[in-house]
A and B are shown apart, each in its own frame.
Chain A
Amino acid sequence: AQSVSQHNHHVILSEAASLELGCNYSYGGTVNLFWYVQYPGQHLQLLLKYFSGDPLVKGIKGFEAEFIKSKFSFNLRKPSVQWSDTAEYFCAVKWKTSYDKVIFGPGTSLSVIP
Protein backbone atom coordinates (compact mmCIF):
# COMPACT_ATOMS: atom_id res chain seq x y z
CA ALA A 1 0.00 0.00 0.00
CA GLN A 2 1.09 3.54 -0.63
CA SER A 3 2.43 5.32 2.42
CA VAL A 4 4.42 8.38 3.39
CA SER A 5 6.68 8.57 6.43
CA GLN A 6 8.35 11.49 8.12
CA HIS A 7 11.45 10.83 10.13
CA ASN A 8 10.80 13.00 13.14
CA HIS A 9 7.65 13.57 15.10
CA HIS A 10 8.94 16.62 16.96
CA VAL A 11 12.03 18.74 16.30
CA ILE A 12 13.33 21.48 18.57
CA LEU A 13 15.90 23.96 17.24
CA SER A 14 17.43 27.23 18.29
CA GLU A 15 17.09 30.24 16.01
CA ALA A 16 19.69 30.33 13.21
CA ALA A 17 20.15 26.56 13.32
CA SER A 18 19.84 24.62 10.09
CA LEU A 19 16.79 22.46 9.46
CA GLU A 20 16.32 19.21 7.60
CA LEU A 21 13.06 17.29 7.80
CA GLY A 22 12.98 13.86 6.26
CA CYS A 23 10.22 12.44 4.10
CA ASN A 24 10.11 9.03 2.42
CA TYR A 25 7.41 7.34 0.38
CA SER A 26 6.71 3.68 -0.02
CA TYR A 27 7.52 2.85 -3.63
CA GLY A 28 8.45 4.32 -6.96
CA GLY A 29 6.70 5.40 -10.07
CA THR A 30 6.06 8.91 -11.22
CA VAL A 31 5.17 11.11 -8.28
CA ASN A 32 4.17 14.64 -7.46
CA LEU A 33 5.66 15.76 -4.14
CA PHE A 34 4.59 18.49 -1.75
CA TRP A 35 5.48 20.08 1.55
CA TYR A 36 2.76 21.91 3.43
CA VAL A 37 3.06 23.97 6.60
CA GLN A 38 0.45 24.63 9.26
CA TYR A 39 1.30 27.57 11.52
CA PRO A 40 -0.44 27.70 14.91
CA GLY A 41 -4.06 28.67 14.43
CA GLN A 42 -3.73 28.89 10.65
CA HIS A 43 -4.70 26.61 7.82
CA LEU A 44 -2.43 24.43 5.71
CA GLN A 45 -0.30 26.35 3.25
CA LEU A 46 1.75 25.05 0.36
CA LEU A 47 5.49 25.53 0.95
CA LEU A 48 6.78 23.98 -2.24
CA LYS A 49 6.10 21.26 -4.78
CA TYR A 50 7.92 19.04 -7.24
CA PHE A 51 6.36 17.79 -10.45
CA SER A 52 9.32 17.23 -12.76
CA GLY A 53 12.67 18.66 -13.81
CA ASP A 54 15.30 20.00 -11.41
CA PRO A 55 15.13 17.80 -8.29
CA LEU A 56 16.08 20.74 -6.09
CA VAL A 57 13.03 22.93 -5.66
CA LYS A 58 12.77 26.23 -3.88
CA GLY A 59 9.68 27.33 -2.02
CA ILE A 60 8.48 30.24 0.01
CA LYS A 61 10.18 31.67 3.09
CA GLY A 62 13.62 30.31 2.21
CA PHE A 63 12.66 26.64 2.22
CA GLU A 64 13.93 24.16 -0.33
CA ALA A 65 13.57 20.44 -0.88
CA GLU A 66 15.50 17.83 -2.78
CA PHE A 67 13.91 14.89 -4.56
CA ILE A 68 16.14 11.81 -4.59
CA LYS A 69 14.35 9.26 -6.72
CA SER A 70 16.64 6.37 -5.85
CA LYS A 71 15.92 6.87 -2.15
CA PHE A 72 12.19 7.65 -2.54
CA SER A 73 12.88 10.78 -0.50
CA PHE A 74 11.89 14.43 -0.56
CA ASN A 75 13.63 16.13 2.35
CA LEU A 76 12.87 19.70 3.36
CA ARG A 77 15.69 22.07 4.27
CA LYS A 78 16.25 25.60 5.50
CA PRO A 79 19.73 26.93 6.26
CA SER A 80 18.72 29.19 9.15
CA VAL A 81 15.40 28.87 10.97
CA GLN A 82 13.51 31.66 12.69
CA TRP A 83 11.10 31.63 15.61
CA SER A 84 8.31 32.26 13.10
CA ASP A 85 9.02 28.88 11.47
CA THR A 86 7.47 27.16 14.48
CA ALA A 87 4.74 25.06 12.88
CA GLU A 88 3.62 21.59 11.82
CA TYR A 89 5.15 20.40 8.55
CA PHE A 90 3.51 17.80 6.32
CA CYS A 91 5.00 15.94 3.41
CA ALA A 92 2.51 14.74 0.77
CA VAL A 93 2.80 12.48 -2.26
CA LYS A 94 0.58 11.82 -5.23
CA TRP A 95 1.36 8.86 -7.43
CA LYS A 96 0.56 9.56 -11.06
CA THR A 97 0.09 5.91 -12.00
CA SER A 98 -3.44 6.08 -10.69
CA TYR A 99 -5.84 8.97 -10.76
CA ASP A 100 -5.90 8.96 -7.04
CA LYS A 101 -5.67 10.81 -3.80
CA VAL A 102 -2.76 12.61 -2.20
CA ILE A 103 -1.31 10.79 0.78
CA PHE A 104 0.04 12.85 3.65
CA GLY A 105 2.76 11.97 6.08
CA PRO A 106 2.00 12.10 9.82
CA GLY A 107 3.61 15.53 10.19
CA THR A 108 6.62 16.91 12.02
CA SER A 109 6.15 19.51 14.71
CA LEU A 110 8.95 22.09 14.66
CA SER A 111 9.58 24.31 17.66
CA VAL A 112 12.14 27.09 17.25
CA ILE A 113 13.50 28.57 20.46
CA PRO A 114 14.46 32.26 20.33
Chain B
Amino acid sequence: EAGVTQSPTHLIKTRGQQATLRCSPISGHTSVYWYQQALGLGLQFLLWYDEGEERNRGNFPPRFSGRQFPNYSSELNVNALELEDSALYLCASSFFGTSGGETQYFGPGTRLLVL
Protein backbone atom coordinates (compact mmCIF):
# COMPACT_ATOMS: atom_id res chain seq x y z
CA GLU B 1 0.00 0.00 0.00
CA ALA B 2 1.39 3.37 -0.98
CA GLY B 3 2.03 5.83 1.80
CA VAL B 4 1.39 9.53 1.93
CA THR B 5 3.17 11.31 -0.90
CA GLN B 6 4.17 14.95 -1.14
CA SER B 7 5.51 17.10 -3.93
CA PRO B 8 7.82 18.73 -4.58
CA THR B 9 10.50 17.41 -2.22
CA HIS B 10 12.29 20.74 -2.24
CA LEU B 11 11.14 24.22 -3.18
CA ILE B 12 13.15 27.42 -3.36
CA LYS B 13 11.34 30.75 -3.53
CA THR B 14 12.10 34.38 -2.88
CA ARG B 15 10.37 36.72 -0.48
CA GLY B 16 6.95 37.84 -1.63
CA GLN B 17 6.39 34.90 -3.95
CA GLN B 18 3.75 32.22 -3.56
CA ALA B 19 4.40 28.54 -2.88
CA THR B 20 2.10 25.60 -3.61
CA LEU B 21 2.69 22.27 -1.91
CA ARG B 22 0.81 19.09 -2.70
CA CYS B 23 -0.15 16.01 -0.75
CA SER B 24 -1.78 12.70 -1.69
CA PRO B 25 -3.18 10.72 1.22
CA ILE B 26 -3.16 6.99 1.72
CA SER B 27 -5.97 5.37 -0.23
CA GLY B 28 -9.12 5.31 1.88
CA HIS B 29 -8.07 8.17 4.16
CA THR B 30 -10.35 11.18 4.02
CA SER B 31 -8.56 13.51 6.43
CA VAL B 32 -5.43 15.48 5.62
CA TYR B 33 -3.40 17.49 8.11
CA TRP B 34 -0.65 20.00 7.38
CA TYR B 35 2.16 20.81 9.80
CA GLN B 36 5.12 23.15 9.74
CA GLN B 37 8.37 21.83 11.19
CA ALA B 38 10.72 24.76 11.52
CA LEU B 39 14.20 24.26 12.89
CA GLY B 40 14.07 23.89 16.67
CA LEU B 41 10.31 24.45 16.89
CA GLY B 42 8.88 20.96 16.55
CA LEU B 43 5.66 20.33 14.64
CA GLN B 44 3.20 23.18 14.51
CA PHE B 45 -0.32 22.38 13.36
CA LEU B 46 -1.35 24.37 10.28
CA LEU B 47 -4.57 23.05 8.76
CA TRP B 48 -6.94 20.11 8.84
CA TYR B 49 -9.17 19.04 5.96
CA ASP B 50 -11.77 16.35 6.04
CA GLU B 51 -14.23 15.37 3.33
CA GLY B 52 -13.26 18.41 1.30
CA GLU B 53 -13.79 20.98 4.03
CA GLU B 54 -11.44 22.92 6.27
CA ARG B 55 -12.19 21.70 9.79
CA ASN B 56 -9.60 23.56 11.83
CA ARG B 57 -6.56 25.75 11.48
CA GLY B 58 -3.64 26.52 13.72
CA ASN B 59 -2.25 29.84 14.81
CA PHE B 60 -0.96 30.92 11.41
CA PRO B 61 -1.80 34.02 9.36
CA PRO B 62 -4.40 33.88 6.55
CA ARG B 63 -1.69 33.84 3.90
CA PHE B 64 -1.43 30.14 4.76
CA SER B 65 -4.38 28.48 3.06
CA GLY B 66 -5.27 25.33 1.25
CA ARG B 67 -7.91 23.08 -0.06
CA GLN B 68 -8.86 19.44 -0.39
CA PHE B 69 -9.97 17.98 -3.67
CA PRO B 70 -12.73 15.39 -4.29
CA ASN B 71 -10.10 12.65 -4.45
CA TYR B 72 -8.95 13.76 -0.95
CA SER B 73 -5.60 15.06 -2.13
CA SER B 74 -4.71 18.44 -0.76
CA GLU B 75 -2.84 21.60 -1.59
CA LEU B 76 -1.19 24.05 0.78
CA ASN B 77 -0.66 27.59 -0.50
CA VAL B 78 1.58 30.11 1.16
CA ASN B 79 1.25 33.65 -0.18
CA ALA B 80 3.60 36.59 0.28
CA LEU B 81 6.42 34.35 1.45
CA GLU B 82 8.60 35.54 4.29
CA LEU B 83 12.04 34.32 5.29
CA GLU B 84 10.67 32.67 8.43
CA ASP B 85 8.40 30.48 6.31
CA SER B 86 11.48 28.38 5.52
CA ALA B 87 10.71 24.99 7.04
CA LEU B 88 9.78 21.40 6.38
CA TYR B 89 6.05 21.13 5.62
CA LEU B 90 4.57 17.81 6.54
CA CYS B 91 1.32 16.32 5.41
CA ALA B 92 -0.43 13.52 7.27
CA SER B 93 -3.49 11.51 6.39
CA SER B 94 -5.64 9.67 8.85
CA PHE B 95 -8.47 7.29 9.35
CA PHE B 96 -10.58 6.16 12.28
CA GLY B 97 -9.81 2.54 13.04
CA THR B 98 -12.03 -0.10 14.58
CA SER B 99 -10.40 0.57 17.95
CA GLY B 100 -12.12 3.96 17.94
CA GLY B 101 -9.09 6.15 17.55
CA GLU B 102 -7.59 8.15 14.75
CA THR B 103 -4.03 7.54 13.57
CA GLN B 104 -2.06 9.97 11.44
CA TYR B 105 0.47 8.76 8.90
CA PHE B 106 3.04 11.20 7.61
CA GLY B 107 4.55 11.92 4.23
CA PRO B 108 8.22 12.74 3.65
CA GLY B 109 7.61 16.46 3.60
CA THR B 110 8.41 19.39 1.33
CA ARG B 111 11.39 21.46 2.34
CA LEU B 112 10.68 25.10 1.53
CA LEU B 113 13.50 27.60 1.43
CA VAL B 114 12.70 31.28 1.15
CA LEU B 115 15.55 33.51 0.07
What residues of chain A have their CB less than 8 Å away from a CB belonging to chain B? 32, 34, 36, 42-46, 49, 51-52, 90, 92, 94, 99-107
| A-B pair number, CB within 8 angstroms | 51
Query: Complex Cα distance A106/B35, Å?
Result: 13
With beta carbons under 8 angstroms apart, the residue of A36, A43, A100 that contacts B109 is A43
With beta carbons under 8 angstroms apart, the residue of A42, A94, A105 that contacts B102 is A94
Number of residues from B at the complex interface, CB < 8 A = 23
Query: Complex Cα distance A103/B35, Å?
Result: 10
Evaluate contact between B48 and A49: CB separation under 8 angstroms: no
Evaluate contact between B106 and A101: CB separation under 8 angstroms: no
Evaluate contact between B108 and A90: CB separation under 8 angstroms: no
Evaluate contact between B107 and A101: CB separation under 8 angstroms: no
Evaluate contact between A51 and B42: CB separation under 8 angstroms: no
What residues of chain B have their CB less than 8 Å away from a CB belonging to chain A? 33, 35, 41-43, 45, 48, 55-56, 58, 90, 92, 99-109
Residues of chain A lying within 8 A (CB to CB) of residue B35: 104
How many Å from the CB of A6 to the closest CB on chain B? 9
Query: Complex Cα distance A90/B92, Å?
Result: 15
Evaluate contact between A49 and B43: CB separation under 8 angstroms: no
Query: Complex Cα distance A90/B55, Å?
Result: 24
